[in-house]
Amino acid sequence: MAKDAKSKDDDFWDREALLAQRENVLFAIEEELRTREEVLLESEAAIGGLDKAHAAREASLVDRERTLRETEALLDARERVLNTTQNQSSVRELQASQIATNSQTQAELDEREANLNTAEAALKEREAFIEKSENTIFKKGQQLQEWEVELAHLQDELKARG
């Protein structure tokens, strides 16, 4: 039994040593985790500062871009005003040219219309002449046909008498 008691004592102390060793490892891991957490918190704070700086720069860029667009719009408006004043004489010349062209075009259209009216009257006259000629030819054709029938009848009578 003495042996058994001694082996139980050794076993206890071995287990105690093992547990103490495991506890030391856990404490070391816990310390490492705390250190890593501190590093992460410092990094997060640094990134937060960078984010704020980035946001400030972005806001500044947005303001500059808005100012640039407004300036461009003003320059475009000025350019249009300058072009308008410079082109007013060109516009007047263009309008005068368009009026002249319109008058010339109207005169040409009036002339063409007169020519078309004359041609249409000539066509109507020609149609009337052709219709009259067709009627005359038709009547003469009927007369000739009647004469042919009469002559044929007379020939038949002469043959019958003779």
pLDDT 10s digit of each residue in the chain, 162 long? 445 555 566 777 788 888 889 888 888 888 988 898 888 888 877 777 766 777 778 878 788 888 888 888 888 888 888 877 776 777 778 888 889 988 998 998 899 899 989 989 988 998 999 899 899 999 999 999 999 999 999 999 988 886
Tens-digit pLDDT profile for residues 64-102:
888 888 888 888 888 888 877 776 777 778 888 889 988
| CA within 13 Å, CB half, 73 | 6
Residue 104, number of CB atoms within 10 A of its CB: 10
